[in-house]
Amino acid sequence: MAIVPLYRRDARHPQAQACAACEVRGSALFGALDDAGLDHIHTHIASVEITPDQPVYARGEAGAAVFTVRAGIVRFERSSPHGDRRIVRLAGRGDLIGQEALLQRPYADEAIACTPVQLCRIPRHLVDQLATAQGSLPRELMLRWQVALDASEAWVAELSSGPAHRRLLHLLLRLARLGEPGGPVWLPRREEIGAMLDLTVETASRLVSRLRREGVIELLPPRAARIDLAALERALNSEGTG
């Protein structure tokens, strides 16, 4: 994890240059700040790169920072007292994660990289400082909390109930939105699909094979797929009328 101070007063500083060129700058948390607000950052921002299946943070860990996802997909896991694993949410480019830290609470879920992930680690005290000085930041934080709440509610409504085939179609639509437009998407392992949709591994494997035969997805090595969005929409419409 490389930690570099962000000083926008010096445009030659590597982190200032990285922020200026960042593709999610406008939609990231500090996109709400004006230049004067950014000029008053006198702390360290961490640029973090995490490999697939490595943790971003652990459930129950004391929250000291929030993170902006610059690239990649992060999943959030919980385990029942019996050891059953459930994946309860996904986050992608531009999303803010770890908001529990702002309330000085431990992280509620284990956050794990699904793909190679690039993050900006933002210390909690920096957000507190800027929220006091910048009137626009608290509103931006509230909007991001609402986005996370909406995503959680949609996950329950679309991925935790109803026919298994329809749940998988909704998951693929969500993965397509998290990926690059028109490009391949990350495809979870069958056991991960089961943990997301409350299915057995056998059922998840059977449904993936069905969608491949129907032309909705094309499997690509090692863990990717190409989705025919038109076929996916037709399948969802068919599920809705069937």
Half-sphere exposure of 98 (CA within 13 A, CB side): 26
Looking at residue 140, its pLDDT comes to 75
- Clarify whether residues 207 and 87 are in a common domain: no
pLDDT tens sequence across 198-225: 999 999 999 999 999 999 999 999 899 9
In a domain, 103, yes or no: yes
Same domain, 127 and 173: no
75, part of any domain: yes
In a domain, 146, yes or no: no
Of 32 and 89, the one with more pLDDT: 89
Cα separations in angstroms, 27 against 31, 45, 124, 125, 224: 6, 17, 19, 21, 26
**Is 122 found in the same domain as 48?**
yes
| Mean pLDDT of the 140-144 span | 78
Give the chain's domain count: 2
- For residue 21, name the pLDDT band (cuts at 50, 70, 90): low
Segments of 150-227 assigned E as strands: 185-186, 217-220, 224-227
**Domain end position, chosen among 121, 136, 151:** 136
Mean pLDDT (the chain) is 83
The predicted pLDDT at position 204 comes to 96
Tokens 């694993």 belong to 85
CA 215 to chain centroid: 27
Residue pointed to by tokens 């930690």: 3
Q: Residue 189 is part of which domain span?
A: 161-241
Give a yes or no: residue 149 inside a domain: no
Q: Give me the CATH number covering residue 200.
A: 1.10.10.10
Choose among 90, 77, 91, 76: nearest CA to 28: 91
Residue 91: count of CB within 10 angstroms of its CB: 24
User: How many CB atoms are closer than 10 A to CB 172?
Assistant: 24
DSSP per position, 51-83: -TT-EEE-TT-B--EEEEEEES-EEEEEE-TT-
Whether 220 is in a domain gets the answer yes
CB 109 within 8 A of CB 76: yes
Region 138-142: what's the mean pLDDT?
A: 75
Based on the domain organization, do 122 and 23 belong to the same domain? yes
First CA to last CA across the chain, in angstroms?
Answer: 50
Identify whether residues 39 and 125 lie together within a single domain: yes
pLDDT digits (tens, 9 = 90+) for 69-125: 989 999 999 987 777 889 999 999 888 899 999 889 999 999 999 999 999 888 888
Task: Look at 75 and 154; give whichever has higher pLDDT.
Answer: 75
Q: Tell me, what's the pLDDT at 3?
A: 44
Which one of 102, 136, 170 terminates a domain? 136
Residue with tokens 């973090």: 48
